[in-house]
Amino acid sequence: MLTSTLLAAATTPLQWSPTVGLIIVIANIIAIAFGKSSIKYPSVGPALPSANFFGGFGLPALLATTAFGHILGVGIVLGLHNLGRI
């Protein structure tokens, strides 16, 4: 019963497009800016090859902010898809 209810509520599948990629990139930039202002020790841990290119982040901070950016971006993409905007 639950499976049939979930299948009935499903929408059309979302195809990747440059718009989806752009939304994810912008979400990652926002997440990195948020992380830059809120992470207390951003350079702790293994250093990246070009720290200035990555905003002075260490590897753990970079992975954390980009993971958050992807989660944020996927939420935006799925929300816009559900509204019929993309």
pLDDT tens string 3-50? 666 666 666 788 889 999 999 999 999 998 898 888 888 778 787 777
Six-digit token string for 18: 């440059």
Amino acid at 1: M
Q: How far, in Å, CA of 86 to CA of 75, rounded?
A: 13
Q: How far, in Å, CA of 20 to CA of 80, rounded?
A: 10
For residue 8, the model assigns a pLDDT of 63
Count other Cβ atoms within 10 Å, centred on residue 74: 14
pLDDT tens string 52-85? 776 778 888 888 999 999 999 999 999 999 888 8
- Is there a contact between 44 and 56 (Cβ–Cβ < 8 Å)? no
For residue 1, the model assigns a pLDDT of 58
For residue 57, the model assigns a pLDDT of 83
Cβ neighbours for 48, distance < 8 A, ≥ 6 positions apart: 54, 57, 58, 59, 62
